[in-house]
Amino acid sequence: MKDLSDRLRLARRVALQAVAALFLMSVAWVLVYRWVAPPATWLMLERRSHRPQADYGGLLPEDASRRIRYRFCAIDEVSPQLPLALLAAEDQRFLQHHGFDLDAIQQAAKSNLEGGKQLRGGSTISQQVAKNVFLWQGRSYVRKAAEAYFTVLIELLWSKQRILEVYLNVAEMGDCVFGAEAASQKYFGKPARKLTQAQAALLAAVLPNPLKFQAGHPGPAARAKQRRVMRNMRRLGGTAFVRDLIQNP
C-alpha cells in the first residue's frame, strides 16, 4: 500500500513538472516572437509540402509553384490603409477587447443556429494570430483550448501593435502567398507601403478564403466584400483610426 502511495506521489510530481515545463516553454516562445519575426508557420509548411485539394475552377493549377512568398515587414513599412482595412474587415473592436469579442461570438452562434447560408466565426485578430503562428491546422476541442490559451498569452505579453503587425505578415493571402509585402508584390507589383485604399480593402476582403476569392482574380463576391470593407474603413474614420498603432512606440 505504501509503495502504491509513493508511486502516485511520484507520478503527480512528474506530471506537475511536465505541466510547468510546458507552461514556461510556451511563455518563452511567445516572448521570443514579441521581438523576432516568426520564420514560418505550420500553414506555410503545409502549403509548401502539399497543394490544396480544391482548385477553385482552375485558379490553382496542378503545376503551380510551391515556393512560399513571405517577407516580414514592420507595421510602419506598410501603407496605413492595410491595417485599417484588416480591422474594418475582420475585427472592428480590436482596440477594445482583450482577445475575445463576446458580442461577435454571440452573433456568430445566433446566425449559425438560425441556419445561415454560411457558417460564421467569431474569431478576433488575436485569436487568428494565436492559431496561425503557434498551432497546427485542423479542428478539435484540444486545438480550440490551445488557441484560447495562446490568445491570452499574446494579449498579456504583446502590444496591440505587435499583434496586428504579426497578423498582417503571416495571414494567408493566396496560394503560398503570406503577408502584406508578398501579396502586394504579387498582385499589384508594388511594395506594401504603396497600397491604395482599394487595394488594401481587396486584400482584406479575400482573407476568409484567399484561395477561392483570389486578389489576383477577384470575382463579384470579392468585389462586393471589397466595397463593404471600404465603407467600414470610412465609417471608422479613415487612417486616423490606426494612427497610434502604426507609429513606433
Which of 210 and 54 is assigned the larger pLDDT?
210
pLDDT tens by residue, 238-249: 999 999 888 755
- Each residue's pLDDT tens digit, 20-39: 899 999 999 999 999 999 99
In a domain, 172, yes or no: yes
Please tell me the total count of domains within the chain: 1
Residue 228 has pLDDT above 80, yes or no: yes
Per-residue pLDDT at 7: 75
Residue 57, domain member (yes or no): no
Q: Is residue 26 part of a domain?
A: no
- Structural domain of residue 136, as residue ranges? 37-51+68-246
List, for residues 82-101, the tens digit of each pLDDT value. Answer: 999 999 999 999 999 988 88
Residue 204 lies in a domain: yes
| Res 120 pLDDT > 50 | no
Task: Give the whole-number percent of the chain exceeding pLDDT 90.
Answer: 61
Domain-located, residue 120: yes
List the strands of the sheet with 177-178, edge to edge. 69-70, 177-178, 172-174
Of 3-12, 63-72, 140-149, give the lowest mean pLDDT range: 3-12
pLDDT at residue number 109: 58
Here the cell at position 236 is 471608422
User: In the predicted model, what is the mean pLDDT of the chain?
Assistant: 88
Q: Is residue 214 part of a domain?
A: yes
In this prediction, residue 68 carries a pLDDT of 93
Q: Which residues contact 4 (CB under 8 A, 6 or more apart)?
A: none
- Give the CATH number for residue 121: 1.10.3810.10
Report yes or no on whether pTM surpasses 0.85: yes
How buried is residue 192: exposed, middle or buried, by Cβ count under 10 Å (0-12/13-18/19+)? buried
Q: Considering the domain boundaries, does residue 210 fall inside one?
A: yes
Q: Which residues contact 128 (CB under 8 A, 6 or more apart)?
A: 90, 167, 171
The answer to whether position 235 is within a domain reads yes
